[in-house]
Amino acid sequence: MTDRVVKLARLALLLGLATVIHTAEAFLPITFVWFRFGFANIIGLATLELFGFKDAVFITLGRIFLGSVAYGLFGSPVFILSLSGGTCAILAMGIIYSFGTRIFSEIGISVTGAVAHNMAQLAVAYFLLVRNEGILVLLPVLLLAAAATGFINGLAARFFVKQFRSLEEKQIHSVNR
Amino acid sequence: MKSLFRTRVGMTAGDGILMIFIVILSATLFVLIPRWVLSSGKELEIRAGDKVVGRYSFNTDRLIDVSGPLGTTSVVIKDGRARICSSPCPHKICRDMGDIGLEGGLLVCVPNKVIVTVTRERSDGLDAVTR
């Protein structure tokens, strides 16, 4: 029973953290950052490692819904883009993660997620919004951006998971004592 | 906090291969995609209001009926030239605009909101031609 309560509390914290990061990132000035770093995906990836695929999907979808409500773009094209990107990213990361972290570490998983995110967004932007082959010119740029941001986020997720686990261990020790 | 700094900043072989693959892929696409996007053959594009009714090749002769708010505007493609051959508008300006071909151009029927253009992709290395 307590295990489940602890898990619920931790998932709620992760969801809150992911939502805040997701929302805060939307306020970055677009003149400097014309692509999104996807820092919120750090939490998604950490959840995937700590709690498994199902909860990671829940956290990702939750932060997209809550985040878009927070900055008032729920149901807009921006929301559709971030929903499609987030869903594809978490699905791709779940698949890659199922191969085990021996082959792909957090960095590889995160890069895969970022690439899936950007490709899904580009596909949705092409089929739903722009309908002009011109935006496909962005594809290589987006791929490179995904590799770079994915690398950074992967490292961050590794630190996050490591820290989370060590805190968890400390807690267990103090409880046992 | 110490444990944080002791975390290994290493990549597995899979990560490295993935990163290299993505960089090579994007470098290849950098070269290929602009070429592919810009070299698609020029076609006739017909719009009714905001939406594209269709794109048609100049090579096949055909008659295209486009419906607008006033009725049906007919665009005819013959011998690689396109012109508006009939329209329900009052002044028939569009019908008198002549024809356009691969060199580009514009036929518009303002009352019936029909726009006929040539897709702007060019394969001859020019960005645009003004006339």
Residue given tokens 């024809």 in the structure block: B99
Encoding tokens for residue B104? 């580009």
- CA A162 – CA B8 distance, rounded (Å): 10
pLDDT band at B118 (very low <50, low <70, confident <90, very high): confident
- Residue A110: name the closest of A55, A81, A151 by CA: A151
Question: In the prediction, which pLDDT does B25 show?
Answer: 93
Class of the CATH domain delimited by B44-118: mainly beta
Specify whether the backbone of B41 is left (phi greater than 0), alpha (psi in -120 to 50) or beta.
beta
**β-bridge partners, A125:** none
Q: Are A111 and B15 in contact (CB under 8 A)?
A: yes
Q: How many angstroms separate the CA atoms of A77 and B99, rounded?
A: 39
What residue in A sits closest to B1 (Cα-Cα)?
Answer: A163
Tell me which chain B residue has its CA closest to the CA of residue A107.
B15
Q: Which of A148, A149, A84 is nearest to A120 (CA)?
A: A84
Distance from CA of B35 to the nearest CA of A (A): 9
Burial (0-12, 13-18, 19+ Cβ within 10 Å), B114: buried
Whether this model's pTM surpasses 0.80: no
Q: Say if the ipTM goes beyond 0.95.
A: no
For chain B, say whether A167 makes contact (Cβ under 8 Å): no
Across the interface, of A112, A155, A162, the residue whose CB is closest to B18 is A112
Distance CA A80, CA B14 (A): 32
Indicate the pLDDT class of residue B129, thresholds 50, 70 and 90: low
Mean pLDDT of all residues in chain B? 80
Report the C-alpha gap between A151 and A3 in whole angstroms.
33
Residue B131: pLDDT band by 50, 70, 90 thresholds? low
In this predicted model, what pLDDT tens digit does every residue of A22-75 receive, in sequence order? Answer: 988 888 776 666 677 889 999 999 999 999 999 999 999 999 999 999 888 888
Q: In chain B, where are the structural domains located?
A: 9-39, 44-118
CATH T-level topology, domain A2-176: Arp2/3 complex 21 kDa subunit ARPC3 (1.10.1760)
Contact list in A for residue B22 (CB cut-off 8 A) is 111, 115, 143-144, 146-147
In the DSSP assignment, the letter for residue A131 is -
Note whether B22 contacts A115, CB cutoff 8 Å.
yes
For the segment B78-86, the average pLDDT, to the nearest whole number, is: 88
Domain ranges of chain A: 2-176
- Is the distance from CB of B4 to CB of A162 less than 8 angstroms? yes
